[in-house]
Chains A and B, each alone.
Chain A
């Protein structure tokens, strides 16, 4: 592609340089009349700017008119340069980019100001460099890797997130966000909003402050407190894949009030409708938002049989057994691959229903139940389910009050199961005997790569031995991962490159 493009540009360059020289030789005329455009892409620059330039040139010429051996006509900027500069300066009013040659496009893009309105730039400019400059100007820290490596996507996603973050219902005009929709709908794939501001209630605030916190909660939240409704926005974003929401307020400091952190039923219903309508959604996260059983059920009901959903994260909420049961139902009615219910209030019954769903599930890869309270009953149920499950690879049961019986069953699972690669049992009461049993189970396992048993009352010796077994497994896994590449290398001849790509 590049090679094919080089020759025309060269020829054009040479031609333009010749014309430039001609022009500069007749500089006086050129300054007065302006260059006649030989091609439609070249816009006649207004005589004003030209006049300054030419004037400077004339002055320069005058100044160095004496026999200066180093003087040459080349000092006069090329016409293309001038045109490009002009285009850059008037880009807002007259955006010309696509008609230019690739090289000139690059030049224009390099000189464009990052402050140009999005209405002009959004759908016109795809250049990463430009968007990089825009991003760097607005935000000091940018993780482009988190946005699929695209600066443009990063820009629009963060821009939209910012708008939503600072949207105050019934005060801010919703058009502020919706107007942006046509420009960003092709680029936004992920929405990560960690703040939803509540509607402002100025007269109530002092009153709120006077009263005790506990009392105000129940009275205040019902009539007001609904946050920004995402429905219209999400419906417009045709490529949205990830939705990461936190219904809360950041940096409230000493203005802390409980009703700042409210996820109302109205919010819940509208969110449920929104995610149901969004068929491209792959990841849905709703964390730290006081989602209780009922709200979780509403949300999960809307997610049943969702065509694309792969990851559901409802951690740091108030979900109990009923919510867990709903999640279990979702497991068998969707293609969910990752389910995170960390730091909730799931107890044994919820864990049992999850285990029941897990026993015959073939999609779920990761299950996180950290900081719940499923206890031994739930743990045993999950272990039983894992004896038949052939899909789950990661299981996090940290801080679940598990003890020896679960460990016994898990050790049996370890001997049978060949898909699990990571188990976390930290912060439980496994006990010395449980640790020994787990060690026995580990001795027959060849696939497990991670097994976290910290702070779970396991004897150091068995923990160390388990660590050794894990090391051996990791080494074996590394060999397995290398072998295919080794076997492929004679055939594809780019074998050595593949590991590089994967490892760096």
Chain B
């Protein structure tokens, strides 16, 4: 009870986070002292309210304005039905009856397909490269190619992207070259990030794609701040941030959604619900109906979409972007998909899911094949095109890999730069000491 004596002595309560009960006690005491004659008026007001029938009264608490009910009814944890999932193409790539196909002409569709295939090819070759010990680590996008590419295609180059780490297709769509991907993976002197981070931690200032970092969901509040800045600068652009089903459990998800809604930031929250967070299945990640239902909790527009349907993703993200930019509001998009690959090269997912399950999603439910079928049905793609593209992509990726492998690693000076904008004295001293150590030791320790 240590706080109460201080309050009653009139100590400045702004120094303390007074709990609600202490504050109301303090305020009701002071009200009675100061407003003696008004007490009668207050009583009269209360009595006149009581004359009305209970059902006519609206509660006008600062926290919510809601109608009364005299029936105690708990809201059940789940709605009668799960939030439906928007799709345009069926699993075989055929437009469903009543679908409203978005405006995707042949050149856009073919470009999207090219990117998906290049991404698939890059993933499979670089995964193997890690297995052969040529790079230290790799992480694939298998199963999420359509989600990556179609969402990216619905954005403009001025929209700023805050990725998690399984969105290389977004970067590829924007124009990051195979050489740039390979350089970063081989940590050479030309690679983004100057060799400081593990492979796949890409980024590009030119392409408005913020650097990937391993901690989960930390990018979500960044995206909100960036979006707020875009709004204040009156740019025709939004921020877009990606995260997984696992990421939605982080505190930063809650923080970001709430801030975005309250501060009216034009940001798209794209949840890649791919069913697994490393080995943790979605049923061990949340108890509600996925992530889409949380949108309403924050006062945010939301939608659930089939993340393996490129057209549905394209349409939903286009519409969401328009809403965000025109109305300065956030939108939550839950894209349902499946992580076909292992979490990364440090994972063997057959330890926690069946080979049959993986094979099913890799083949029958492959989003790239599904989109290809739609292209073929429009006569925009053929078996020859496929063979040619696959062959060319493979050649290009292998060439990029070989080039990147040959390049030098970054110079030692890059260990110390960019900690601050300029090197402070402690780092200058440490660099001098390190160079001294290196020069006195066998050549194998010495980089150039």
A and B co-occur in one complex: no
Footprint of B on A, CB under 8 Å? none
Footprint of A on B, CB under 8 Å? none
